Amino acid sequence: MLPPAIVRENLERLIKASPKDGYASLSALLGRNHAYIYQYLKQGTPDRLNEFDRHVLARYFGVNDWELGGPLEVRPRPSRGLAEGGPLLSEMIMVPFLDVVASAGPGSMVEEELTTGFLPVDYHWLRRNLGVAQTSNLTAITIDGDSMFPTLHAADQVLVDCGQQQPVDRGIFVIRHENALHVKRLRKSKGDPGWTVTCDNPEYHGWNINEATEFEILGRVIWVSRRL
């Protein structure tokens, strides 16, 4: 689900784009007192819209429930037919795009992770090409730095499976190390409780992580896109 602050921004944007709609009229639409929407947007009360209010507002503005705080859904959309086979039904999921910069260089400090948009991806393509079964674990982020060059470039957008938090051979992972975000390879030797962080760019040196280090594996990078 979207963070409450983003949901409020989305609803405020929808209201501003529709001059005929005001806080009081939308409150009346929900059967609430005239100050309900104002208090929700400006005072944070309630923290989240309940399911009924969210659904009514989403239908009214013609948006999906997830834009107003609902669960991430698989959304059907029509696509072109193949030859004479007629139209096909392709299922799209909306992967949240986080406003964080995962560093492939010296590390990027992260204080708050906010969803700023969505990356539409075909559900069957994910299953067939990337082996993704649980789509709710997916998120998208942007790469910064060149320590993973030539595999990853600065400004690459990558898809991260947060359900994969166990290092595997040839895998690239998003990790949080001492409050900095990195994208690196991880190695673990038999009998060694720590990890070795490695870079693809030979100009950069890796480092070792022991049990006393503040360290967390956030997910595995499973796909990358870049502009050519």
Tens digit of pLDDT for each residue in 186-219? 887 666 667 889 999 999 998 888 766 778 889 9
Based on the number of CB atoms within 10 Å of its own CB, is 24 exposed (0-12), middle (13-18) or buried (19 or more)? Answer: middle
CATH number of 4-68: 1.10.260
Q: According to the model, what pLDDT value does residue 212 have?
A: 66
Class of domain 89-225: mainly beta
The torsion angles phi and psi of 97, rounded to 5 degrees, stand at -100, 115
Contact by Cβ (8 Å): 119, 159: yes
Q: According to the model, what pLDDT value does residue 72 have?
A: 63
> Which regions in the chain score pLDDT beneath 50?
76-90
Q: Where are the domains of the chain?
A: 4-68, 89-225
Q: According to the model, what pLDDT value does residue 86 have?
A: 38
Q: According to the model, what pLDDT value does residue 141 have?
A: 92
Contact by Cβ (8 Å): 82, 88: yes
In Å, how far are 76, 85, 100 from 89, measured between CA atoms?
7, 12, 33
Query: At which residue do the structure tokens 């006393």 appear?
Result: 212
